[in-house]
A and B are shown apart, each in its own frame.
Chain A
Amino acid sequence: MVEYLYEKDLRGMQFNILASTRHEWVVAELSARYGMRKPEIRRRLIERLDMILLENLPARYEGWLARGDAGDDVDRALGVELLTVYIPLAEDTRMQDIAEYTRERIATDDAHDESIAHALAQIRELIRS
């Protein structure tokens, strides 16, 4: 007799973790930054991260605010380290590519806001994929 005792669906529990005040704040910040709806952000977080990382989201986000992506405006605007190191939602190499491309574009055509907006759209796709 085989009982799959542990492989229960944990999504309910993970959602409960995201329901606290501080997590709400992080989800709101992420959704404002990348222009995605909150339920979608929550879904991606639940899919990609394990439970202890979910619990730790606010501390990690604060850590990024304090010292992540220091020294580079483009990285800071896109949140490269935010999405690869602090809250790993996106693939490292793809993120670097996007940042590299944006930096080049800004250097050549000087269309700063436009390039950032374009890159954010790409990142949105990356998170969704």
Chain B
Amino acid sequence: MSFLQSIKNTVRSKSIHVSYVNVGSCNGCDIEVLAMLAPRYDIEQYGIYVHNNPREADVLLVTGAFTPQWEDKLKSIWDKIPEPKVAIAIGNCPISGCVFNRRGAYVDPPVAKHIPIAAEVPGCPPRPTEILNAVLSLAPLVFKDYEEKQS
């Protein structure tokens, strides 16, 4: 492992920037993502920051069954995130459409059709700790030795 890579590994393991996007959820999952910010869970001790700005994000949390309005927008948000990046589906909605995936609804799940999803956290809604756990266990898998894996 090169010296540069080891520095990058150290920095990345202590700084994970999270952004979330709601593509047609019932709000329940968004609120649990927001509750994750609370001092009780203390996400900053793991170096996670929620900025909600795709330009500086590493992890994108997607909540909600997919509504047609997002067809072009979600892709463009995904493109704006700099490499290395990863998307996590939060809740049943982006995975299967949850209760909304019925005849007559306007939704079009799963989200994996539109952007690559690396991990899924099922639940309606999942607990904040579960979301946190997913972010923490996925981040090292993706960000460690990223450049070396590329070449």
Contacts and interface: CB of A to CB of B under 8 A. Distances in A.
A13 B76 CA distance: 21
Interface in B22-75: 69, 72-73
8 contacts: A3-B76, A5-B72, A5-B73, A5-B76, A8-B69, A8-B72, A13-B69, A16-B106
Contacts, number: 8
Contacts of A8: 69, 72
Interface of A, secondary structure class, is loop
Interface in B98-138: 106
Contacts of B76: 3, 5
Nearest to A6: B73
A3 B75 CA distance: 13
Contacts of A16: 106
A80 B106 CA distance: 37
Contacts of B73: 5
Nearest to A13: B69
Interface in A1-40: 3, 5, 8, 13, 16
Contacts of A3: 76
A5 B73 CA distance: 7
Nearest to B73: A5
A16 B68 CA distance: 12
Contacts of A5: 72-73, 76
Interface in A67-125: none
A5 B76 CA distance: 9
Nearest to B76: A5
A8 B61 CA distance: 25
Contacts of B69: 8, 13
A13 B106 CA distance: 10
Q: A-B pairs with the 7 shortest C-beta distances?
A: A5-B76, A5-B73, A13-B69, A16-B106, A5-B72, A3-B76, A8-B72
